[in-house]
Amino acid sequence: MAGSARDQRFRAAAAALRRRMVRRIVAGGGLADPAWRAAFAEVPRHLFVPVYYRGGSDDAAGHGRFAADDPDMRRRLSWLTGAYADQPIATHVSGGELVSSSSQPSLMALMCEALDLREGHRVLEIGAGTGYNAALLAHRLGGTGAVTTVDLDAAITAPAREHLAAYGTAAALSVTVVTGDGAFGCPAGAPYDRVIATCELPAVPPAWAEQCRPGARILAPFATGLVVLTVTGPGRAEGRFLSTPAYFVPLRGRAAGIQPPAVGGESSLLDRHPARTRFGLTVEGRRQWIWLDRPDGPDTWPVPAASSF
C-alpha cells in the first residue's frame, strides 16, 4: 500500500510538472493549436528520458547522471523535475561525445506546429532520439501507423522502441522505428507528406524530397537555423528559414564529418543578420544553394556538401 501511495504521488507530481511545462510554452507563444497542446499535455516526457545527463556527460562520481531508478528519492525527484524543464537534455553519450538528446520542449513545439500536419498525413522523422517526438507526432495523427522514425544507431533505436512500448498507447505502438542511415530516408514507408529532421544537416539529402509527395513539407535544422521546404517536384524543394535559431547534434552516417556550409563565408551570418527569414534554400537534387531574398537573386551561396549524398 505504501508503495502504491508513493507511486500515485509520483504520477501526480509528473502530471503537475507536465501541466506547468505546457503552461510555460503557451505563455511564450507556443502551442496555439489545441491538438498540439493536447499532445504535449498528455504524452509523458519522463517515460522517454529514464536516464539523462547534465553538462553533456557523466562524471566519475556519477553526479551528472539522473535516472528514474535512483534509490535516492531526492535525486529521483530532481530527475523528474529536469525531465519537464524547458531545456534540452543529453540522453546518449559515447566516448565523452554527445550523440543523442531530447530537444528543448518549446523548440519541439515550434517545430511540430511548423509542420502544419493534417489528418491522414504520413511523417518521416530523421533522428529517433528518445522516441518522445515520434510519440507527439503519433498522438497528433492518431494510431494509424502514420509515423516512421529512423536513426543510425541500434543503441538509440532499441531504447526508443522500449519507451514507446512503455507509454503503450495505440498511437505510440503504431510508430515504426527503423535502424538505418537517415540520409537515405526510408523508402518502405514512402511517399511521405512531411519530413522532420532533429539533427543538424550539412545538406538536404535528395532522397528525402524523392520520397515525398508533391506539396510535402520538409523541416530541418540547417546552418544554425530551421528551414521549411516545400517539395515542388521529384528531388526538388524550396523554402525559407524560420526566425528561430536552432542547434542540434549533427547528422551521422554517410555525411559524418562534413561540416554544415558557411553562409556568405561565415557560418554565423544567419545569427548576426537582423532578419534570418530573408534567407532561403533551394534543393535541386545534389545542387543546392542558400539565397538572400530570392533564389535567383545576386546573393547566393552554394552548398558543396550536397555532393556527398
Residue 123 CA to residue 218 CA, distance in Å, equals 10
The closest of 249, 274, 269, 237 to 127, measured between CA atoms, is 249
Residue 149 C-alpha cell reads as 522514425
Q: Which amino acid is at 17?
A: L
d(CA 193, CA 240): 18
Integer Cα distance of 271 and 279 in angstroms: 11
pTM of the model: 0.92
> Catalytic residue at 308?
no
Distance between CA atoms of residues 165 and 172, nearest Å: 7
User: How far, in Å, CA of 302 to CA of 290, rounded?
Assistant: 6
C-alpha cell of 262? 558557411
pLDDT higher than 60, residue 63: no
d(CA 34, CA 295): 35
Question: What are 202-252's pLDDT values in tens digits?
Answer: 899 999 999 999 999 999 999 889 999 999 998 899 999 999 988 888 888
What is the separation, in whole angstroms, between the first and last Cα of the chain? 58
Q: Which residue among the candidates 100, 101, 102, 106 is catalytic per the annotation? A: 100
Give 86-126 pLDDT, tens digit per residue. 999 888 877 666 778 889 999 999 999 999 999 999 999 99
CA distance 92 to 118: 32
